[in-house]
Chain A
Amino acid sequence: MGESEGKRGLSRRDLIKRSAVVGGVAWAAPTILSSLSSPAAAHTATCCSGPNVFRLKSGDNCATTPTCSTGVGAQDCLTTVGANCCLFNNGVTLSCADTTHTWTLAAGIQFCAGAAKAALRCETGPPQVTHVHNANGTTTVTITDPQLSHSEIVVCTPTAPAGC
């Protein structure tokens, strides 16, 4: 192996090693957990225009307790439906980091739309808002932006959910 190849290999090995150590990653066969090859292949949300549509909104500044006031606020991005948090921890969960909010929808709860409120911007599509249908029937919605203040999602259910 020539010197340049050695340097190149060492550099990549260091990168992999550092990433693994920093992230506390132990070896397991690398896997693609889920894929959505195209919107056409996506599980189509059929209930978004129905009666059981809900908007959930994270708290500001990474608070994981949603803002549950009803109605639409001046800072809101998705204004087609008033906020209704009855699904929070009732099929919808939220985990939160400084610039990324991850919403998880239980099987049977369909994703309609999402938004990142970032500074004065509303971002409603990729790469800020992405969603992936997982093999176990759940859906993961990732909302990320360097200036993320809060996130919103609109979801629906085919029939009226318990607790709502």
Chain B
Amino acid sequence: VTARWRESSPVPRRKPGVAHAEVDGERVLYDPDTRAVIRLDRVASVLWQGLDGNGTVAEFAADTAGAFVIAYEEALNGLIALLERLDNLGFLTTERSRR
């Protein structure tokens, strides 16, 4: 099985139209198309905001590592796992951003 997300993958975007509410730093996301609801923990809620379609997953991981002052590999592994889940649940779009 080939992993969907790797360092060279472009950063996905948050799916347009997904509504959110924030409670104590945790975001609840609602997709009106599928009526799916998910709740993110506080770290995932922070990373969700950065899913802007710009750059690569490696760059996003480097940004995350710098912001949280952790090792790059740790940030990368956590980020990729989160992207896998969000992607499987349909909360991402992989349309490339305009360059």
Q: Which residues of A contact B (CB under 8 A)?
A: 1, 5, 8-9, 12-13, 15-17, 19-20, 23-39, 95, 97, 100, 102, 126-127, 130-132, 134, 140, 142, 144
Contact = CB atoms under 8 A, between A and B. Distances in A.
17 contacts: A5-B55, A23-B42, A23-B45, A25-B43, A25-B46, A30-B47, A31-B44, A32-B38, A33-B26, A33-B40, A36-B38, A38-B34, A38-B35, A126-B19, A127-B32, A132-B28, A140-B39
Nearest to A101: B23
Contact of B30 (A19, A30, A33, A126): A126
Interface centre among A12, A26, A30, A144 (most CB of B within 10 A): A30
A16 B23 contact: no
A16 B49 contact: yes
A62 to B, nearest CB: 14
B11 to A, nearest CB: 9
A32 B44 contact: yes
Contacts of B28: 130, 132, 140, 142
Contact of A15 (B22, B49, B59, B79): B49
B22 to A, nearest CB: 8
Interface of B: 19-26, 28, 30, 32, 34-47, 49-50, 52, 54-55, 59-60, 62-64, 66-70, 74-75, 77-79, 81-82, 85-86, 89
A22 B79 CA distance: 21
Nearest to B20: A127
A1 B56 CA distance: 12
Nearest to A22: B25
A104 to B, nearest CB: 11
A126 B66 contact: no
Contacts of A12: 50, 52, 54-55, 60, 63
Nearest to B60: A12
A16 to B, nearest CB: 4
B89 A35 contact: yes
Given A19-B46, A144-B21, A27 B68 contact: yes
Nearest to B62: A9
A12 B66 CA distance: 11
A34 B40 CA distance: 7
A25 B42 contact: yes
B89 A37 contact: yes
